[in-house]
Amino acid sequence: MRQIFLDTETTGLSAENGDRIIEIGCVELIARKLTGNNKHFYLNPGRDSHEDAMKVHGISNEFLKDKPKFEAVADDLLDYLRGAEVIIHNAPFDIGFLNKELERIGQPPLLSCVEKVTDSLVMAKEMFPGKRNSLDALCHRLDVDNSGRTLHGALLDAELLADVYINLTRGQNSLVMDTSTEVQQGSALPVVDLAQFELPVLMANAQECVAHETSLADIDKASKGKTIWRTASLTAPA
């Protein structure tokens, strides 16, 4: 399945109160490889950004005046997203804005077009409970270089999110090997059948067996004879 990492910048925090999208950035991943088939739009929201929002994204009202309206890019965006898994950090925020923009032009919500929406913030909270899980915090924790992120930008944030996601889910492809030199559109990496390999069994030598028994005895002594293997052997039927 195609995976699209999506981020937006907006004029403010409330789609319901009339704030609008001013930037959309999308990054495509296929078979856990970045394809370079990305999408990026600046949009004229028809209203000014709040001062606090401008401090976050740094996009001036003047810069956006000659940019297209959302309705002018909606079909292009929906065609690009169609059938993909869309991954967003704090998805309810961006989805709320996108659905409001789609509603204004008589289009159904985004979920009618995409396969599913995954919230990477929820994933991060499950993996790192009680810790900060902002995009910047995850970049730092997972060794993703975000040194170029002085201001929020939709395309840059989508690119960073893709790197973060790959690191978050790194264990998912531990038994998959990429034998091709390049990834073709829609292709999948071959899965290696481990049953075809004869794995050697390495037995412990005498010295290792003695060291093991010594460690067990030390643990049993420290627990005052309450180790599971000792109590199990005493209660086992003859």
The dihedral formed by the CA atoms of 210, 211, 216 and 217, expressed in degrees to the nearest 10 = 70
Distance CA 230, CA 209 (A): 18
Closest of 152, 119, 162, 121 to residue 28, by C-alpha: 162
Does residue 89 have an active-site annotation?
no
Annotated active-site residue in 40, 50, 152, 212:
152
Give the H/E segment covering residue 70.
helix 70-81
Checking DSSP bridges between strand 33-34 and strand 21-30, what pairing results, if any?
antiparallel
Interior angle at CA 46, CA 41 and CA 50, nearest 5: 90
Catalytic residues: 152
